[in-house]
Amino acid sequence: MTIKVAILGCNGRMGRNLIQATTEHSQLSLVGGSVRKGSSFENFDLGELAGIKALNVNATSNLEELADADVFIDFTSIEATFEHLTWCKEHNKALVIGTTGFTDEQVKQIQQVGIDIPVLLAPNTSIGVNLLFKLLEITAKAIGDDTDIEIFEAHHRFKKDAPSGTAMKMGQVIAETLDRDLNECAVYGREGITEERNPNTIGFATVRAGDIIGEHTAYFADLGERLELTHKATSRMTFAMGAMRAVIWLSKAENGFYDMQDVLGLKAL
């Protein structure tokens, strides 16, 4: 069975990669994409928008024109995502969310929508990053209480949220494994003369520069040795192809709130 896919925010950097990834997957059929009202990209052919062959499928600002889709993909903004979430709930459509920067309260709101439709929230849809989350859990169980934990992330100059959603997820995985509250133990910056490092804290360092796609490293450092777990993305297609895997999985799922750990079957490990 072919899964009909619509891409929300199809004119963005990720949207264009998602268009290409959808067309390259035999199980998926791209039926449309959305742009903001008044966008200069309205009525553009999605293939031409993505820099591939014409697809005879045009961008629209009217979500009702996308009602034939089975699964929607959203890598837009927080405000737009909630508008799309409401629409998908009203129209009983599955939604994959790759938008980042949500507060804890906003995540709870998204979870609630999972009562009515299948919804998957992933701060990073890369297969490698989601394997990294599992490795962080294993590492934290083994040595987390005996090491200093720091998280480094670097992205392109255009990224708006910091630390990245992926870095925050890394911190959450580690904190939950160690029975800590990330809201209380996170340190987001150091400057000047500081006190000696609190061993229960989890530090974050952020770089925004050039066209860095995405780099993340977790340091587990003791006196005399340290373990570094690193993921580096060199193409946004990494995230797009992971999103395709999420779409296929979510198309068969019952109503609920999911993440990439569910897609990859890592929660049972």
How far apart CA 267 and CA 231 sit, in angstroms, is 20
Q: Are 28 and 5 in contact (CB under 8 A)?
A: yes
**Structure tokens of 139?**
């590492």
Q: Are 84 and 72 in contact (CB under 8 A)?
A: yes
Which residues, in sequence order, are CB contacts of 261 under 8 Å at separation 6+?
130, 133, 134, 267
Q: Catalytic residues, which ones? A: 155, 159
Give rounded-to-5 percent helix, strand, coil for the chain: 35, 25, 40
Which is nearest to 174 in space by CA: 198, 201, 152?
Answer: 201
